[in-house]
Amino acid sequence: MENRRILNSTPIYMLSVQEARERMDQYLMKHQAVEKVKETLNIVIPCIWGKMDARVYIPVCGDGRKALIFFHGGGWTLNGIDTYEELCTALANRTGRVVVSPEFRLAPEHKFPAAVEDAASTVQWVFDHAESLGIMGDKIAVGGDSSGGALATAAAMYFRDRGGVPVEKQVLLYPVTDYYIPGTQSYETYGTGYMIDRNFLIWGWNHYIRSTDDLSNPYLCPLRAEDLSHMPETLIIIAERDVVRDEGEMYGEKMKKCGCKVVVHRYDGAMHGFLMNTRLKISRKALDEVGVFLK
């Protein structure tokens, strides 16, 4: 997917949240190439604020005894389970895992830590209902792209800190791991001219955080965590031409220094969001890598 194609008029960050959601939903729904899976289930997950919708994808192949909980990206403000069907069906079939995609709360209506709370609630629910889902409770991985990658690793960190769920692995696709200040070299190099650029991230951050006091919280900015030891085995997919490239790679290096088992793979020429178009050769290659990692 060429990110610039969405920018044929007013940039996303200059729209109202509702206008941005409508434009992104319209574009992504129109261009999706959803793979066939064995079965798709719409479920409801109880959480601290009520009930959260979620979608479950049963893969065509594989025994379906393992799970991947996938959190969608969108700067904490955009997208949902409908717009992520293409990627989630592809992940189910490549990994042979049951994929659970939750409709977590979005900003600015629900600021931090609402999305993290929903991510943790989803992981806990899948673990508690492993038997009815036909999966093994000790074979639950978390994953996400962009801001969803931040939620995935926050959920893994949450259960590392508190126990309760033995998160097996995590897959982070070009994750957002830090606030936009002070920024990195990739913030300068790829800060303008792309759909996911510096201005979009600032727009999303400003909708999501309550105040800068939140920035010291590792569940918000994982790169600022003092201790990343005992985190699950991790695969981090990086896009070369991406404003958050450097912070994703820095997160992987920090995890390694803390003794974690981590693979960081930069895909040259790729842009942020490239896995949203699973027809691209480079996207299929990355999906195959995720498949091997999670099988």
Per-residue pLDDT tens digits for 195-218: 789 999 999 999 999 999 999 999
The catalytically annotated residue of 118, 147, 197, 272 is: 272
Q: Are 65 and 136 in contact (CB under 8 A)?
A: yes
Question: Is the pLDDT assigned to residue 120 strictly greater than 80?
Answer: yes
Mean pLDDT to the nearest integer, 112-130: 98
Task: Give residue 193's pLDDT.
Answer: 84
Active site residue 146: yes
Q: Are 248 and 174 in contact (CB under 8 A)?
A: yes
Residues ≥6 apart with Cβ < 8 Å to 106: 74, 76, 77, 78, 80, 115
What would the pLDDT profile of 171-187 be if each residue is shown by its tens digit? 999 999 999 999 999 99
Q: Are 126 and 97 in contact (CB under 8 A)?
A: no
- % of the chain at pLDDT higher than 70: 97
Q: Are 193 and 241 in contact (CB under 8 A)?
A: no
Task: Give residue 2's pLDDT.
Answer: 41
User: Quick one: pLDDT band at residue 8, thresholds 50, 70, 90?
Assistant: low
Task: Give residue 7's pLDDT.
Answer: 45
Question: Is the pLDDT assigned to residue 14 strictly greater than 80?
Answer: yes
Task: Give residue 63's pLDDT.
Answer: 79
The catalytically annotated residue of 146, 147, 186, 283 is: 146
Residue for token digits 């990086």?
A: 238
Q: How much is the mean pLDDT over the chain?
A: 95
Active site residue 272: yes
How distant, in Å, are the alpha carbons of 49, 189, 210 from that of 21? 23, 27, 21
What would the pLDDT profile of 222-257 be if each residue is shown by its tens digit? 999 999 999 999 999 999 999 999 999 999 999 999
Active site residue 216: no
User: Quick one: pLDDT band at residue 69, thresholds 50, 70, 90?
Assistant: very high
User: Treating both helix axes as pointing N-terminal to C-terminal, what angle do 281-294 and 85-95 enclose, rounded to 10 degrees?
Assistant: 50
What would the pLDDT profile of 79-97 be if each residue is shown by its tens digit? 999 999 999 999 999 999 9
User: Quick one: pLDDT band at residue 9, thresholds 50, 70, 90?
Assistant: confident
The catalytically annotated residue of 145, 178, 197, 242 is: 242
Task: Give residue 62's pLDDT.
Answer: 80
